[in-house]
Amino acid sequence: MNALIIGQLAVSGALMGLVYALIAYGFQLTYATSKSINFGQGELVMVSAFFSLTLLDHGVPYALMVPGGLAFGALLGLLVERTGVRLALEEKSEGWVLLTIILGLFFFSAAENIWGRDDRPFPTPLSENPVHVFGIDVTRMEISVAVGVFAIMGLIELFKRRTLLGKAFEAVSADRDAAELMGISATRTVMLSYGLSGAVAALAGILVSPITTVGPTMASAMILKAFSVAVVAGLDSGFGVVLIGMFLGALEGLASFYIGSGWREAPGLVLLILALAVRPTGVFGKAGIRKV
Amino acid sequence: MLSATLPLHKSDPLSEDPMKHHVLLGTLLTAALGLQAQGTVKIAITGPFTGGSAPMGASMRDGAKLAIAEINAAGGIQVGGKKMKIEAIERDDEAKNERGALIAQELASMGDLSGVIGTVNTGVCMSGDRYFQEKGLTKIITPAAGSASMTQWSKAGVKDLSIFRFAADDAIQSAMVVEEAMRRGYTKVGLLYDSTNYGVSGRDDLMNQIRMQGGKLQVVASEKFNIGDKDMTAQLLRCKIGGAQAVLIWGIGPELAAVANGMAKIGMKAPLIGGWTLSMSNFIDNAGKNGNGTLMPETFIEDPITPKAKAFIEAYHHTFNVGRIPSPVSAAQGYDAIYIFAAAVKQAKSTDTHKIKAALEDLKEPVKGVIATWHRPFSKWNPADERTHEAFHRQQVVMGMVMDGRVVFANPAEKAQLIKAAGK
């Protein structure tokens, strides 16, 4: 019985943790190429979810809504790059921090005005009946989260390793100046990374909405956890965010059961402090030497 | 609102009145003094019309507006020798305490308001109502149910109170929740509550009631959750392992739905029993079929069992173009509150808020509402007993149950009793 409880808590938590991992992966994509991240990533998740819901409301079939939502997310990512990041990077300033936060606030207000402040249910083609796996109950929505997260991360990693464009992506990540000398446009690569990051955010929104409902504040709790995951895992390892995301999610579930539901967030924060103190580059991060 | 600053350019709704001269003179006089400029009874309606509590706020407002439209269509309220129409002033507090306080200050300084009706969130009552009390402005709280919004006045030992409540408060509700669990023969229950004022004080009320009703219910788990939480597995597993036959719960729509969905996930069949927030449309919609069988105390159920209820429900659907009232309890309470207020204005023969308060404390004529016929709902404020300013008692509240996206009567006996009472 006890093992089953631990299993149930760990699995439920880990599946939610995969959503944190997916959002954290969005940070990684842009950090790799430009050493910048979008602090308004949570708002991209939320706005894309609202957009996808609007598509469904207008009778767009589910199978077409997903690519539509992803394309919309990618467009938003590009918008963030163009308006919030590119100029700051050209100036070699840290202005993107503030600019991406401001863009996030802008998206938030826009969503409130366009779609209102209410939480709305997000339809799903999946049955609501849970599936029993070795005595553990899992909903089909949770399974779809896992499938979606692994699928998109697998695809992007394959793309980076197998295609010419992907190799350019890796080259800029490794050394921006050297890549530019080889004739790779760093600006375009950064654009690509923001586009991908936006699409990843949109997917996170589409996957998690049937579980959390859609509302302007839907991502505010998740985004903080995604930051923790990104920091603890390090901003270099896609494999790392998945592992840490699942670990953090499971830890939350176990903590709220064994310590008390008021302490749900505590272990994650302790983990964050420990990681920053012991391994500031992240558990899976590369400790690089910074030449001055 | 804006028109208040341009009183004389608006057409006088009372120009057909034989006492035209007096009215006109009065209007001019009061306009000069900046008081009751248009010869209307000004009532402010406040509440969250947007956000998570909006189903309650907007339904309350719309119910109140329905009553105002009916009264105005019949010529208005008989105030002394003339008929005066009601003018509604709406303010959206967004369920935010600080916004509620600002609105209260604004309304309290208007000077020509006859009264205020509304407020959904207990926190907003706590932050704003003192501005009304300072000016002696009459307010009927509806549908905020938290005990604290009235007990704050009894605790402070206020001698003369201008705040009334028209809602089944949490003490009544928690008593009914515990009663229902025992009536169904349960002995073990889990307790879930959100970490807001509302949730925590709801838990205290429930624990109190369990003790007062003989301590026959064993609480196997007492767990909280935060606003915005979606994964309730840990809290629910504790209830499940403890062998809870029902989950008693105090929270707001979206999180309540997360609990119902979480119970379906781990295969928990125990019913949810809790405060009337379980009838909010954002609970019912987001929980879907997982919400079926959920029980909560209700002052009004959207079921046309009496001619009065039928007329009200049809008018609401027709006027606001909906097939279901987002929060029937709030709508009905908003509606009845306006009629009670209007009766007080009539009895006071004045739009002066202090005289209306005195009339409210001793209403002579019964008021026919959609929830009940109200006989002297309030009495002279006694700081030792806040029930003097509470309109609802146990007998006006019934148990509701969620069934396929609607709230229906949980106990047929209560339904039959209401039909019988209306027939008398």
A130 lies within 8 A of chain B by CB = yes
Residues of B in contact with A220 (CB under 8 A): 228
Contact assessment for residue B187 and residue B204, using Cβ atoms and an 8 Å cutoff? no
Which of residues B116 and A93 earns the better pLDDT score? Answer: B116
Q: What is the value of pTM for the model shown?
A: 0.78
| pLDDT, tens digit (0-9, with 9 covering 90-100), for B334-346 | 999 999 999 999 9
Over 70: is that where the pLDDT of A179 sits?
Answer: yes
Measure A43 CA to nearest chain B CA, in Å.
16
| pLDDT, tens digit (0-9, with 9 covering 90-100), for A56-79 | 999 889 899 999 999 999 999 999
Which tokens in the block code for residue A180? Answer: 């530019």
Interatomic CA distance for residues B142 and B276, integer angstroms: 13
Residues of A in contact with B241 (CB under 8 A): 1, 5
B224 lies within 8 A of chain A by CB = yes
Interatomic CA distance for residues A186 and A188, integer angstroms: 5
Query: Regarding beta strands B115-118 and B139-141, do their DSSP bridges make them parallel or antiparallel, or are they unpaired?
Result: parallel
Contact assessment for residue B242 and residue B189, using Cβ atoms and an 8 Å cutoff? no
Please state whether the peptide bond connecting residue B143 to the residue before it is cis, i.e. omega within 30 degrees of 0. yes
Over 90: is that where the pLDDT of B273 sits?
Answer: yes
Q: Locate tokens 């706005």: which residue? A: A47
Which tokens in the block code for residue B319? Answer: 């006027």
B289 lies within 8 A of chain A by CB = yes
Query: Regarding beta strands B218-225 and B246-250, do their DSSP bridges make them parallel or antiparallel, or are they unpaired?
Result: unpaired
Measure A94 CA to nearest chain B CA, in Å.
32
Phi and psi (nearest 5°) for B407? Answer: -100, 125
Of the partner residues A116, A117, A212, the one whose CB lies closest to the CB of residue B230: A212
Amino acid type, A125? P
Over 70: is that where the pLDDT of A35 sits?
Answer: yes
Q: What percent of chain B has a predicted confidence (pLDDT) above 70?
A: 91
Contact assessment for residue B252 and residue B281, using Cβ atoms and an 8 Å cutoff? no
Please state whether the peptide bond connecting residue B304 to the residue before it is cis, i.e. omega within 30 degrees of 0. no
Question: What chain A residue is nearest to B224 in terms of C-alpha separation?
Answer: A261
The answer to whether the CB atoms of A137 and B223 lie below 8 A apart is no
- Residue B283: count of CB within 10 angstroms of its CB: 27
The answer to whether the CB atoms of A118 and B50 lie below 8 A apart is yes
Residues of B in contact with A121 (CB under 8 A): 285-286, 288
Phi and psi (nearest 5°) for B188? Answer: -120, 130
Interatomic CA distance for residues B414 and B399, integer angstroms: 8
pLDDT of residue A212: 82
Contact assessment for residue B144 and residue B121, using Cβ atoms and an 8 Å cutoff? yes
User: Mean pLDDT in chain A?
Assistant: 88
Question: What chain B residue is nearest to A121 in terms of C-alpha separation?
Answer: B286
Question: What chain B residue is nearest to A265 in terms of C-alpha separation?
Answer: B226
pLDDT of residue B8: 40
Residues 6+ apart with CB under 8 A from A99: A83, A84, A85, A88
Q: Locate tokens 């306006």: which residue? A: B338
First to last CA, chain A: 57
Measure A8 CA to nearest chain B CA, in Å.
8
pLDDT of residue B14: 41
Query: Regarding beta strands B77-79 and B82-84, do their DSSP bridges make them parallel or antiparallel, or are they unpaired?
Result: antiparallel
Residues 6+ apart with CB under 8 A from B346: B77, B78, B79
Q: Interior CA angle at B329 toward B57 and B100, to 5°? A: 25
pLDDT of residue B18: 45
The answer to whether the CB atoms of A118 and B241 lie below 8 A apart is no
Number of residues written out for chain A: 292
Number of residues written out for chain B: 424
Residues 6+ apart with CB under 8 A from B225: A261, B192, B193, B194, B195, B232, B235, B251, B255, B258, B259
User: Mean pLDDT in chain B?
Assistant: 87
pLDDT category, B232, cuts 50, 70, 90?
confident
Measure A187 CA to nearest chain B CA, in Å.
38
Interatomic CA distance for residues A247 and A252, integer angstroms: 9
Contact assessment for residue B118 and residue B94, using Cβ atoms and an 8 Å cutoff? no
A217 lies within 8 A of chain B by CB = yes
A262 lies within 8 A of chain B by CB = yes
Residues 6+ apart with CB under 8 A from B267: A130, A137
pLDDT of residue B286: 86
Give the 3-state secondary structure percentages of chain A, helix then strand then coil, rounded to 5.
Answer: 75, 5, 25
Of the partner residues B254, B264, B282, the one whose CB lies closest to the CB of residue A130: B264
A151 lies within 8 A of chain B by CB = no
Contact assessment for residue B117 and residue B140, using Cβ atoms and an 8 Å cutoff? yes
Q: What percent of chain B has a predicted confidence (pLDDT) above 90?
A: 59
Measure A79 CA to nearest chain B CA, in Å.
28
pLDDT of residue A193: 92
Among the residue ranges A247-256, B49-58, B251-260, B319-328, the one predicted with the least confidence is B49-58
**What one-character DSSP code corresponds to residue A285?**
-
The answer to whether the CB atoms of A213 and B54 lie below 8 A apart is no
Of the ranges B114-118, B144-148, B222-226, the best mean pLDDT one? B114-118
In a 3-state reduction of DSSP, which class is residue B57?
helix
Query: Is the backbone of residue B154 left (phi > 0), alpha (psi -120 to 50) or beta?
Result: alpha
Query: Is the backbone of residue B222 left (phi > 0), alpha (psi -120 to 50) or beta?
Result: beta
Measure A167 CA to nearest chain B CA, in Å.
39
| pLDDT, tens digit (0-9, with 9 covering 90-100), for B351-402 | 999 999 999 999 999 999 999 899 999 999 998 888 899 999 888 899 999 9
| Probe site for chain A from B203, B265, B281 (most A CB atoms < 10 A) | B265
Interatomic CA distance for residues B215 and A62, integer angstroms: 52
In a 3-state reduction of DSSP, which class is residue A228?
helix
Which of residues A237 and B69 earns the better pLDDT score? Answer: B69
B46: β partners: B91, B118
Measure A126 CA to nearest chain B CA, in Å.
14
H or E element: which one contains A97? Answer: helix A95-115
**What one-character DSSP code corresponds to residue B404?**
T
Residues of A in contact with B285 (CB under 8 A): 120-121
What is the spatial order of strands in the sheet that B115-118 belongs to? Answer: B86-92, B41-47, B115-118, B139-141, B163-165
Check the CA dihedral A178-A181-A186-A187 and report its sign.
positive
Residue environment code for A32-51, b if the CB has 16+ CB neighbours within 10 A, otherwise e: bbbebbbbbbbbbbbbbbbb
Of the partner residues A118, A217, A261, the one whose CB lies closest to the CB of residue B234: A261
Measure A50 CA to nearest chain B CA, in Å.
16
Over 70: is that where the pLDDT of A81 sits?
Answer: yes
pLDDT of residue B6: 39
The answer to whether the CB atoms of B52 and A118 lie below 8 A apart is yes
pLDDT of residue B12: 42
Interatomic CA distance for residues B373 and A246, integer angstroms: 58
Over 60: is that where the pLDDT of A283 sits?
Answer: yes
Interatomic CA distance for residues A276 and A282, integer angstroms: 7
B267 lies within 8 A of chain A by CB = yes
Which of B61, B108, B106 lies closest to B88 in space, CA to CA? B61
Q: Locate tokens 């050209």: which residue? A: A90
Over 80: is that where the pLDDT of B7 sits?
Answer: no
Residues 6+ apart with CB under 8 A from A254: A6, A9, A10, A13, B234
pLDDT of residue B198: 83
First to last CA, chain B: 43
Among the residue ranges A248-257, B1-10, B249-258, B376-385, the one predicted with the least confidence is B1-10
pLDDT category, B1, cuts 50, 70, 90?
very low
Question: What chain A residue is nearest to B265 in terms of C-alpha separation?
Answer: A130
Over 70: is that where the pLDDT of A211 sits?
Answer: yes
In a 3-state reduction of DSSP, which class is residue B295?
strand
Contact assessment for residue B389 and residue B371, using Cβ atoms and an 8 Å cutoff? no
Over 50: is that where the pLDDT of B246 sits?
Answer: yes
B215 lies within 8 A of chain A by CB = no
The answer to whether the CB atoms of A128 and B264 lie below 8 A apart is yes
H or E element: which one contains B399? Answer: strand B398-403
Interatomic CA distance for residues B313 and B331, integer angstroms: 9
Q: How many CB pairs under 8 A join A and B?
A: 82
Residues of A in contact with B290 (CB under 8 A): 128
Measure A29 CA to nearest chain B CA, in Å.
27
Residues of B in contact with A9 (CB under 8 A): 233-234, 237
A240 lies within 8 A of chain B by CB = no
Amino acid type, B405? G
Distance of CA A239 to the CA centre of its chain: 13
| Probe site for chain B from A2, A113, A119 (most B CB atoms < 10 A) | A119
The answer to whether the CB atoms of A118 and B51 lie below 8 A apart is yes
| Probe site for chain A from B229, B233, B241 (most A CB atoms < 10 A) | B233
The answer to whether the CB atoms of B288 and A121 lie below 8 A apart is yes
Task: Give the mean model confidence (pLDDT) for residues B166-184.
Answer: 92
The answer to whether the CB atoms of B50 and A254 lie below 8 A apart is no
Which of A75, A6, A71 lies closest to A206 in space, CA to CA? A71
Of the partner residues A5, A16, A220, the one whose CB lies closest to the CB of residue B237: A5
pLDDT category, B316, cuts 50, 70, 90?
very high
| pLDDT, tens digit (0-9, with 9 covering 90-100), for A116-129 | 777 788 888 887 77
A118 lies within 8 A of chain B by CB = yes
Over 70: is that where the pLDDT of B138 sits?
Answer: yes
Contact assessment for residue A137 and residue B265, using Cβ atoms and an 8 Å cutoff? yes
